[in-house]
Amino acid sequence: MHINRLDHLVLTVADIEATCAFYTRVLGLARVEFGSGRVALQCGEQKINLHQAGFEFEPKALCPTVGSADVCLIASDTIEAVVAHVVAAGGAIELGPVARTGARGPITSIYLRDPDGNLVEVAVYAGETA
């Protein structure tokens, strides 16, 4: 067997609408609805499914917890453009830009927190900007 990509991940959140507002405004993700009123955030060919804390869909993680995620999103802009967008949208950068290592090599990253305290890294691979 060979796994070649991540399709989706799940965030357990305190407030789906607050989460959607943050990720659409600050990070430019698209809010999508699917199934029977389920909500996700689309980013490229992947999505982040949202579960309301206390009302998770089955099957679910053994101990779904608000604010326990640490994710890295890759942008196709320059890190300067990413910083400018995040700041203009009211996002608070906690750290960065800093050099890090992504799955495919060196990246430049910033870190911020979503409404639940999840750590969100936004990174850019050198030479892969639009």
The residues that are catalytic are: 121
CATH of the domain at 75: 3.10.180.10
16 in a structural domain? yes
CA distances for 50 relative to 21, 34, 104, angstroms: 13, 11, 27
75 in a structural domain? yes
Total domains in the fold of the chain: 1
Residues 80-116 have pLDDT tens digits of 999 999 999 999 999 999 999 999 999 999 999 999 9
Check residue 126 and give its pLDDT: 87
130 in a structural domain? no
User: What is the mean predicted confidence (pLDDT) over 1-13?
Assistant: 96
Burial class (CB within 10 angstroms; exposed 0-12, middle 13-18, buried 19+) of 83: middle
Confidence label for 130 from pLDDT (cuts 50, 70 and 90): low
**Strand pairing class (38-43; 46-52):** antiparallel
118 in a structural domain? yes
30 in a structural domain? yes
Buried b / exposed e along 87-112 (16+ C-beta atoms within 10 A): eeeebeeeebbeeeeeeeeebbbbbb
Check residue 128 and give its pLDDT: 80
Residues 16-28 have pLDDT tens digits of 999 999 999 999 9
2 in a structural domain? no
Whole-number mean pLDDT of the chain?
96
Find the Cα–Cα–Cα–Cα dihedral 65, 82, 44, 123, rounded to 10°: -70
Check residue 129 and give its pLDDT: 73
Q: Which residues form the domain of 29?
A: 8-125
Check residue 53 and give its pLDDT: 97
1 in a structural domain? no
Residues 27-62 have pLDDT tens digits of 999 999 999 899 999 999 999 999 999 999 999 999
46 in a structural domain? yes
